Structures are given as C-alpha cells and as structure tokens.
Amino acid sequence: MTTYEAVIGLEVHVQLATRSKLFCSCSTEFGCPPNENVCEVCAAMPGALPILNRQAVRFAALVGLALDCRINSPSLFARKNYFYPDLPPGYQISQFELPLCEGGHVDIPGDGGGVKRVGITRIHMENDAGKNIHLPERGCSHVDLNRAGTPLVEIVSEPDMGSADEAVAYLRTLYGVVTYLGVCDGNMEEGSFRCDANVSVRPVGESRLGTRTELKNLNSFRNVHRAIEFEILRQRDLCEDGGTVVQETRLYDVVRNVTTSMRSKEEAHDYRYFPDPDLLPVIVPEGELEELRASLPEMPQARLGRFATLTGLPVADLEVLVQSRALADFFEKAAGLADPRKVANMMLGPLMRECHATGAKTGDPASWAMTPEAVAQLVGLVDKGTISAKIANDIFPELFRSGEMPESHVAAKGLGQISDAGALERAVDAVIAANASEVEAYRGGKRKVLSFLVGQVMRQTQGKANPAIVNELFARKLGDPS
Ligand SMILES: [Zn+2]
C-alpha cells in the first residue's frame, strides 16, 4: 500500500503595531465604536490619496531582516482587485511583483528531533479590510471601517513543513520573532497574528506536489494544529480510496473539528493585479537599513541558549522563560542580582504556579505585583540562611499577590531562620532527652534516625531552625554512630 506524506506551507498575516494606519493618519486602536477611526482615505472617497506610513515600512523591514531576507529597494505596491462591502475602494493595496522582502528562512525544531530550516518565500506589505457586521434579527448588515487600512505583513513560507507539529513549531518561532521585535502586539484573539495553511499530500518518494487545499483564517496555535491534522487525514483517506483532492479553499469548523469546502478553484478570484498609480516605488535607503539591522534585538532561540549556559539548566526547561521578551527581561534582571540558577528554578516553579493559580499572564510580568528585585531578594534570603527554602515556598503566594519585598515581610512576620547556636542547642538537648530510644538506635548504627530527630527540632521551631546548624549540633552531641 502507498504511504503518503504531507506538505505544508503557511501564509501568516501579522498586524503591525503602528499607531496609525498604512496610508492615512487614522488610529489603529482596537475596540473603538464603529467607524470612529475613518477618514476619506479609509472610506475611499474619490480623489483621496494614500500617504505611506514610514514606521510600517520600518517594521516590515525589521521582520525581513530578522528572518534573513533580502530587502528589495525599490519595492512596489499593487492593487488587488475584488469586490466586498468592507473594502470601499474595490481593491486591496498589496505588493505583488516586487514585495519588500524575499528569500529568508526560519530554523525550527523538526519532527526528527533536529533543527529544520523552513524557507521564507516573501514578505509583503498590505492593508487590512474593514468588517461586516451581520444583524439577521434586524434583517440588515452594517460595515465597520475601523480596521480598514490597518497595516499588515504577509509572511509566505516555502512548502517545507511535513506535519501539524512542524507547522505549529514554525508559527511559534515566527510569533516569538515578531513579538520580540515589538512590531506586533501578538494578540491572537484580536486577529493580530493569524494564518492560512496550504496542505497537500503525495506518495512518499514523489517529488511533485499534490493538489493543495487552502485552510483560511486560523487564529490559534491549537486550531492550526487541529485543522491541519484533520485536513491531512481527509486527503490521505481520499487518495487511499482512489479519489482525487480538489483544489479549493476550506474553512475549519472549531466546534465540529472538521474542514469544509468554502469555494473551489473555478470560483477563485482573478485579482487583476497592477501597480498602484497613486503610490511611488518604496525605497529604503541603505543607511536606514543598516540602522534597522543594528537595532535587531536578540531573538528567543539565541536568548534561550544563553540562559542555558548561564544557569546550567536544560534548554527544554527554560523555554517558558523566553515566551515573551518582557519575561526574558524579567529573568535577566533578577538573575543579575542573585544566583541565576536559583532564580530560574524559583521562576519556573513557584512563580509559574502562582501565575496559573491567580490567572495572571505568564508572559506579561508588567501586570504582576511582584518585581524581579523581589524574586532576587527572596533567593538571596534563602542563600544567606535567613529563611529556609520551605519558608520561601510557603510565603511565595503572598509575596506574589501583594508585591511586598521579601525582607520586610520576613521581618514583620518573624519568619527569620533561627541560627543562634544557643537557642538551637537547647532545642536539640530537649529532643535528645525526650527521645531516648531513638537516640539509642542512632548510636547503635541506625543513621536514618537522625532525620527524624532533626525533624523534631524543626517542628518545635515551626520550621525556622537552620537545618545545617541543627545537623551539626546532633553530630557533635551524639558522635558518629558505630
Ligand atoms: Zn483614515
């Protein structure tokens, strides 16, 4: 029987985090009352002329540079003609023959366990459409043009991915890049980062591509994974049953977890692209490109590698810490003030646990009460023996919620570890006196009993006794067991 392999390429739409739109000065703010951010350009009044947003070009070029693309100068804007009520001009302004960026790549964790290189075909700039709002109960539809003209880049990959896992790994890597660059707010629920997937299957060993289908508007990593997985199985079953895949656009139904046909190739648009006569070719001067290249921040994968060296912890454990640039910055700040490995462990353990318990966003430390200085101070208090690791763990939830500095909290609550040898000696003597038979057993060679005796001292001191000193005292008083 023939075995089939999947071939996947992705088209990712990234909304650029500029304050104004691509061709006018209207605000890009999300969630405003309908049609509040609309001018003659957004509404395509006759004679209104587009003026290109310089910041949007800089953001798009940054994405290209971060993905090792060639930046075309000049690049050209073209009209993509189609009719839809939320598109007043009757065309979208996009780039066709000469996009801003071409020929880059992204390295992702591949299915085989190694690193897989996914090619970037092109990155072009375009403006978003508005939104139709259908009100069936009132028998009418409304058009909201707030989103019309919002700047996007479309990142088109080569068909280099072979599974839903690889597609999601690629998307996550890309997401990390655009959010680290600060060119996209990364809000997937609001559609700031969404993708279309081109999926086909072919017999293993075949070099020609099979007929592909396009899955439209997937807006979460989970949906991308499920939609692609479903589509691969559907096509494979179809081929195995002797059928043929039809080239078409399909929609993913989240509730039923299936893809359904939206339109076939016969209904596909002919967009009649042509260069937009209202817009000049875009030139990015070499000097500005150099300045952008020099401003590229360290990307998540590079940062991850550095954190692994810094802490001696495995890369897989540390991935959580580079999920956002802000969280990686938070770690780096705390790790500069205390033992990096202990800081990492505190963030991966108690801190992440508290985020989940309180519903705080793990990637958004600015929204927490706790500061990097507090994390470092808490690690320091344990390191210096001021409090035990257990106490640190116990008070963590309170510190996380209140934002109080650990030192003042420990002092106010009297949680400091008892390291005073005199006080501890009295406690040790009392435990020895009260547990004659255990002491006997220990002296007779049962070393395990020691932890029971130490535990008794800890109990008497509500966990505040310095365990190292207690152990030392017992060793001195009881001697080495025979
Ligand atoms: Zn406008």
- Domain end call among 262, 288, 314: 288
Q: Kindly give the distance from the C-alpha atom of residue 151 to the centroid of ligand 1, in angstroms, as a whole number.
A: 12
Distances, alpha carbon 282 to alpha carbons 203, 252, 332, 436, in Å: 43, 37, 39, 88
- Read off the pLDDT of residues 301-355 as tens digits, 9 standing for 90 and up: 899 999 999 999 998 899 999 999 999 999 999 999 999 999 999 999 999 999 9
Q: Kindly give the distance from the C-alpha atom of residue 48 to the centroid of ligand 1, in angstroms, as a whole number.
A: 10
Q: Kindly give the distance from the C-alpha atom of residue 14 to the centroid of ligand 1, in angstroms, as a whole number.
A: 20
Number of separate domains in the chain: 3
- Read off the pLDDT of residues 228-271 as tens digits, 9 standing for 90 and up: 999 999 999 999 998 999 999 999 998 999 999 887 766 567 89
Res 265: pLDDT:
64
Whether 175 and 95 map to the same domain: the answer is: yes
Res 267: pLDDT:
59
- Domain end call among 232, 259, 288: 288
The whole-angstrom separation of Cα 95 and Cα 226 is 31
The whole-angstrom separation of Cα 353 and Cα 355 is 5
- Token pair belonging to 210: 């099979």
Q: Kindly give the distance from the C-alpha atom of residue 387 to the centroid of ligand 1, in angstroms, as a whole number.
A: 59
Whether 211 and 81 map to the same domain: the answer is: yes
Q: Is the pTM of this model over 0.95?
A: no
Helical (H) or strand (E) element with 202: strand 193-203
Proportion of the chain above pLDDT 70, given as a percent: 99
Whether 429 and 407 map to the same domain: the answer is: no
294 falls within a domain? no
AA letter at 177: V
Q: Kindly give the distance from the C-alpha atom of residue 36 to the centroid of ligand 1, in angstroms, as a whole number.
A: 10
Q: Kindly give the distance from the C-alpha atom of residue 51 to the centroid of ligand 1, in angstroms, as a whole number.
A: 10
- Read off the pLDDT of residues 66-75 as tens digits, 9 standing for 90 and up: 999 999 999 9
Q: Kindly give the distance from the C-alpha atom of residue 155 to the centroid of ligand 1, in angstroms, as a whole number.
A: 25
What residues make up the domain containing 441?
421-478
What mean pLDDT do residues 49-56 have? Answer: 97
**Which of 275, 251, 283, 218 lies closest to 91 in space, CA to CA?**
275
- Read off the pLDDT of residues 428-477 as tens digits, 9 standing for 90 and up: 898 998 888 888 888 888 888 888 988 888 888 877 888 888 888 888 88
Q: Kindly give the distance from the C-alpha atom of residue 481 to the centroid of ligand 1, in angstroms, as a whole number.
A: 85
Whether 223 and 155 map to the same domain: the answer is: yes
Res 194: pLDDT:
95
**Chain CA centroid to CA 324, Å:** 6
Whether 426 and 407 map to the same domain: the answer is: no
Q: Kindly give the distance from the C-alpha atom of residue 392 to the centroid of ligand 1, in angstroms, as a whole number.
A: 54
Res 288: pLDDT:
96
Whether 391 and 453 map to the same domain: the answer is: no
With beta carbons less than 8 A apart as the criterion, state whether 344 and 313 touch. yes
